[in-house]
Amino acid sequence: MMTLPRILVTGATGRTGTVVVSELLNAGYPVRALVRREDLRSTALRARGVEVAVADMCDAQGVAAAMRGVQRTYWLPPYDPAMLTGATVFATAAKEAGLEAIVALSQWLASPAHPALLTRQHWLADRLFAMIPGVALTMVTPGFFADSPYLETIEFAAHLGVVPWMFADSLSAPPSVNDIGRVAAAALMDPDRHAGRIYRPTGPALLSGEDMAAILARVFGHAVRLAPMSTGMFLKAARLDGHPPALLSTMAHYIEEHRRGAFAMGAPNDDVAHVTGRAAESFEAVARRHAARLSNGRGVADKLRLLARSLLLPFVPAPNTRRYLRGLQITEPAAPQYTGESAVWRCEHGFEQTQHSETAQPSPVLSTIA
């Protein structure tokens, strides 16, 4: 009987990492999870037969120890200004361990002069991994997930009949977290087939905010409308929700990218079906799954709680992302460029520099970034 290779999953308690772990376990693979701390989630992993290693991604010795005896790995970067340090630690350990395959989660927006620090770091990490000799590398580069940000406010649609919306009239084809995880897991299970490929999971259709509101109206059986929200108010809400400064510092740029149509370019495509053999989940399927998880009904208490939050929001201090970034003392690009302005990004993604394309593009190969 053939022994299946052991696979290390970083971010194993997160959204895509959880899916990757489940897919691998269901297929019979031995899984080791790299987690930052022991908690109830790591205990739950052990209960499922997962070996757990505890280490910070920037801990060179801890990551090297977690990689011993592993043949393949899934890399999920944290939203942290030290992400590139973690990528360097990870690449060093992977080279020393002689890994045969890496599947790395990157970004559709990754480019060298992007205004968002973490997006620039993604671009550098992609190239770092492409330099590791002898490793079958597969990149997964989604845009916004269907689950986040579009369905993070599903309670407002359920209880108040509104969807906070920051993206004007732009379109996207958002993939589900499950499909992103399934693509990564499939690449880990068959690295020879997927080596050197860059996959961008998308949903099956381009959707506007009005389209999403109509879908949520079907899900809940009552009218749902868009409630336009400014970027500043959204950042206040994100701060109130406890998002870390590193993520807050990117959000205004990602909203602007959406408004400029970056997530509509090259979408939808058939990467999910090509890699997994299953059609991509629709936005409605993801919305119904989220709606089923709402613990409370549509009672008065829920409406009052959401209304109180809305009334409180104008008084929440706006996050000072400029001061945060200055404090990091990381040099910013002399001429920041969004994706539509970046000749490098357009070349790497197969788009003509002077023309926006809304047709599906074939998945590029890593020779474009190596």
* CATH number of residue 12's parent domain: 3.40.50.720
> How long, in residues, is the chain?
370
Question: Residue 366 in 3-state DSSP?
Answer: helix
Mean pLDDT (whole number) for 259-288:
98
Task: Output 79 or 143, whichever has higher pLDDT.
Answer: 143
Question: What is the C-alpha separation between 136 and 195, in angstroms, rounded?
Answer: 5
Task: Output 191 or 363, whichever has higher pLDDT.
Answer: 191
Question: What is the C-alpha separation between 172 and 202, in angstroms, rounded?
Answer: 9
Question: What is the C-alpha separation between 139 and 103, in angstroms, rounded?
Answer: 6
* CATH number of residue 167's parent domain: 3.90.25.10
Residue 98 lies in a domain: yes
Q: What are 118's two structure tokens? A: 């973490």
Query: Are the C-beta atoms of residues 102 and 72 closer than 8 Å to each other?
Result: yes
Same structural domain, 246 and 193: no
Residue 1 lies in a domain: no
Burial class of residue 37 (count of CB atoms within 10 Å of its CB; 0-12, 13-18, 19+): exposed
Mean pLDDT (whole number) for 321-346:
95
Same structural domain, 246 and 315: yes
- pLDDT score for 304: 87
The total of structural domains in the chain comes to 2
Same structural domain, 229 and 328: yes
pLDDT for 359 beyond 70: no
Mean pLDDT (whole number) for 219-244:
95
Mean pLDDT (whole number) for 120-127:
97
C-alpha closest to that of 206 among 277, 123, 262: 262
Same structural domain, 192 and 216: no
- pLDDT score for 360: 45
Mean pLDDT (whole number) for 307-336:
92
Inter-CA distances, 64 with 61, 96, 134, 272, Å = 5, 8, 18, 32
Question: What is the C-alpha separation between 29 and 3, in angstroms, rounded?
Answer: 9
- pLDDT score for 6: 98
Residue 368 lies in a domain: no
- pLDDT score for 293: 87
- pLDDT score for 205: 98
pLDDT for 142 beyond 80: yes
Mean pLDDT (whole number) for 236-247:
92
**DSSP symbols for 166-203:** -STT--B-PPPHHHHHHHHHHHHH-HHHHTTBEE----
Pairing of strands 162-165, 101-105: unpaired
Question: Residue 36 in 3-state DSSP?
Answer: coil
- Percentage of residues in the chain with pLDDT exceeding 70? 94
Mean pLDDT (whole number) for 61-88:
95
pLDDT for 83 beyond 70: yes
Residue 91 lies in a domain: yes
Same structural domain, 107 and 217: no
Q: 21-25, 281-285, 309-313, 352-356 — which is least confidently predicted?
A: 352-356
pLDDT for 297 beyond 80: no
Mean pLDDT (whole number) for 316-340:
95
**DSSP symbols for 105-158:** E--TT--TT-SSHHHHHHHHHHHHHHTSTT-EEEEE---SBTTTBTTTTHHHHH
Average confidence score pLDDT of the chain: 93
Q: What are 245's two structure tokens? A: 């400064």
Q: What are 273's two structure tokens? A: 């079906």
Question: What is the C-alpha separation between 108 and 361, in angstroms, rounded?
Answer: 13
Mean pLDDT (whole number) for 65-84:
95
CA 156 to the chain's CA centroid: 23
- pLDDT score for 286: 98
- pLDDT score for 331: 93
Same structural domain, 19 and 140: yes
- pLDDT score for 356: 41
Residue 351 lies in a domain: no
Query: Are the C-beta atoms of residues 125 and 184 closer than 8 Å to each other?
Result: no
Same structural domain, 24 and 138: yes
Q: 80-89, 158-167, 361-370 — which is least confidently predicted?
A: 361-370
The structure tokens 């509509």 sit at 264
Cite the beta strand spans of the chain per DSSP E: 7-10, 31-35, 51-54, 72-75, 101-105, 136-140, 162-165, 198-199, 225-228
Same structural domain, 240 and 311: yes
- pLDDT score for 64: 97
- pLDDT score for 79: 86
CA 56 to the chain's CA centroid: 20
Residue 259 lies in a domain: yes
Same structural domain, 210 and 86: no
What is the tens place of the pLDDT at every residue in 97-113?
Answer: 999 999 999 999 999 99
Q: 3-12, 156-165, 173-182, 343-352 — which is least confidently predicted?
A: 343-352
pLDDT for 296 beyond 80: no
Same structural domain, 237 and 129: no
Query: Are the C-beta atoms of residues 258 and 144 closer than 8 Å to each other?
Result: yes
Confidence (pTM): 0.93
Same structural domain, 167 and 34: no
- Residue 355: band (very low, low, confident or very high) from pLDDT cuts 50, 70, 90: very low
Question: Residue 101 in 3-state DSSP?
Answer: strand
- Tell me the Ramachandran region of residue 299: left when phi exceeds 0, alpha when psi lies from -120 to 50, beta otherwise: beta
pLDDT for 118 beyond 60: yes
Mean pLDDT (whole number) for 13-26:
96
pLDDT for 251 beyond 80: yes
Residue 359 lies in a domain: no
pLDDT for 354 beyond 60: no
Same structural domain, 56 and 109: yes
Question: What is the C-alpha separation between 114 and 109, in angstroms, rounded?
Answer: 8
Contacts of the segment 291-299: beta carbons below 8 A, 24+ positions apart: 291/154, 291/158, 291/219, 291/220, 294/154, 294/155, 294/158, 298/158, 298/159
Residue 354 lies in a domain: no
pLDDT for 44 beyond 60: yes
What are 165's strand-pairing partners? 228
Q: Residue 249: give the domain boundaries.
A: 154-172+204-265+282-336
